[in-house]
């Protein structure tokens, strides 16, 4: 469940400059809902729910990020600072 909800927003927030809060929220919600549907309602084989929910979370992360305003230059600079040597 944690992979389905947190993997995509975490990686997008760290490595994709266009990632936004709306995209992360939508990715978390869509990943969680898809996991719950696959696990409890459809009953897919064990661990297969992750393979269903992560692509859905990626789609919602991208769509949500493009529907909202891009991050400020200050935010992008701060994130880039995490990837440079001190």
In the predicted model, what is the mean pLDDT of the chain?
91
d(CA 73, CA 17): 10
Q: How confident is the model at residue 86 (pLDDT cuts 50, 70, 90)?
A: low
The pLDDT of residue 22 is above 70: yes
First to last CA, the chain: 35
Q: Render pLDDT for 26-68 as a digit per residue (tens, 0 to 9).
A: 999 999 999 999 999 998 888 889 999 999 999 999 999 999 9
pLDDT at 10 over 90: yes
Listed residue (42, 48, 18, 34) closest to 61, CA to CA: 18
Q: What pLDDT shows up at residue 44?
A: 86
Q: Which pLDDT does position 47 carry in this prediction?
A: 85
């Amino acid at each position: 469940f944690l992979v389905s909800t947190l993997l995509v927003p975490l990686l997008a927030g760290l490595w994709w400059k266009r990632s936004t809060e709306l995209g992360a929220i939508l990715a978390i919600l869509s990943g969680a809902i898809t996991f719950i549907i696959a696990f409890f309602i459809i009953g897919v084989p064990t661990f297969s729910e992750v393979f269903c929910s992560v692509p859905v979370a990626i789609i919602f992360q991208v769509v949500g990020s493009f529907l909202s305003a891009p991050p400020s230059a200050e935010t992008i600079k701060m994130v880039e600072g995490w990837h440079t040597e001190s």
